[in-house]
Amino acid sequence: MMSTKVLTSLVVLCCLSAVWAMPGDLVLMKDGISMGAVCLDGTPPGYYFRPGSGSGRSKLIMHMEGGGWCYNEDDCVGRSKTNLGSSKNWGPTASFNGFLSDDPQLNPLFYNWTLVFLKYCDGASFAGNVDKVVNWKDTDLHFRGFRILDLAVESVKSIANFSEVILTGCSAGGLATYIHTDYVASKFPGATFHAIADAGYFIDANNVNGEPLIRKEYQYVFKMQNCAGGVNQDCVKDLSPKGEEWKCFFPQYTEPYIKNKLFGLNSQYDTWQLGNILQLPCNPPKCTPDQMKLLENFGKEFLEAAADFIAGDSRGFFFDSCLHHCQSLGGEWTNIMVNGQRANETFATWYYEGSGSGSGREVDCAYPCNHSC
């Protein structure tokens, strides 16, 4: 149970800045090469590791990095030459903020937990698994994201016998959290397991012209990288007779199958989704009345898509109406408020099963109502 003192400390974190931080060290999983668990360009995958301290040594936060997807082979060739497709230029250390901070002033409940920050280099939210190397325009591509995830989990399990595990991720890593929660949980059978998906609830919605652009893009990624074996298998089992396995790449279709405890952290007006799914041709509030109507309708679509999530007994959520994308890694984690609760407070209340002043399940009013944005 959380103490009143700790809960009070959560409230006053909004204006503090980190005064110190211990970076995580890069661990390259070179043994993955022989197992075919490699980045797009064939280099070894890896993660940043920061050991826990005190009681946090036996507690794990495993964060999956985000960074979009490569939507076709040409796109993947370009991505394979960047840090999102190759480990060649990853730095030896990295520091983290927000929910991943090791500053007890900023992150009093989780600062001393062991941290694994899994680098993203496969382009399909750690879901792809194509046996053969794909040669595209004289470039070899390796679609092996699910093998990377599997290798990482086995590597992490060798660190300690963890009693508590939180799986998390932002953006494409947030989507990865939805599609991999049950799989990763199955690898830690003796641990208390929770997941928090940040800005990963990408909805199956049309753009401003009524075109299902994101659906087509996800369908191609799903097929190109052979993702059917790397998403929730209960979802695949139900949808494969209809040839709709690709739906399991969307949170709204896969979430009802997730058995483990899950917290959703998302803006109803996520800026990435406004620009890339809705393709809104303006920056709110500098939009025409017709464009603002499109924005309003998208927020309604988001809540409709998340209806099952909101109704779930084992679910927690913080769905605000601010214009942003990802919040657990920065100031939004402690600044934005919904119904008098901040995101970090809402998650803590849910995680510790109602020990806080809120419900652990907060849904905001419609844009632009929230003055904490």
Question: Among 320, 324, 325, 364, which one carries the catalytic annotation?
Answer: 325
Q: Are strands 24-28 and 93-94 parallel, antiparallel or unpaired?
A: antiparallel
Going by C-alpha positions, the residue among 177, 70, 174, 171 that lies closest to residue 124 is: 70
Active site residue 364: no
Report yes or no: 357 and 344 within 8 Å, Cβ to Cβ.
no
In three-state secondary structure terms, 198 is strand
Question: Among 80, 87, 171, 267, which one carries the catalytic annotation?
Answer: 171
Question: Among 75, 198, 270, 320, which one carries the catalytic annotation?
Answer: 270
Active site residue 138: no
Report yes or no: 87 and 121 within 8 Å, Cβ to Cβ.
yes
Write out the two tokens for 281: 């041709």
- Which residue do the tokens 């407070």 mark? 345
Q: At what angle do helices 343-351 and 4-11 cross, to 10 degrees?
A: 160
Active site residue 171: yes
The β-bridge partners of 263 are 196, 316
β strands within the chain, DSSP E:
24-28, 46-50, 59-64, 93-94, 114-118, 134-136, 139-141, 164-170, 192-198, 261-267, 315-320, 337-338, 341-342, 361-363
Catalytically annotated residues = 171, 270, 325
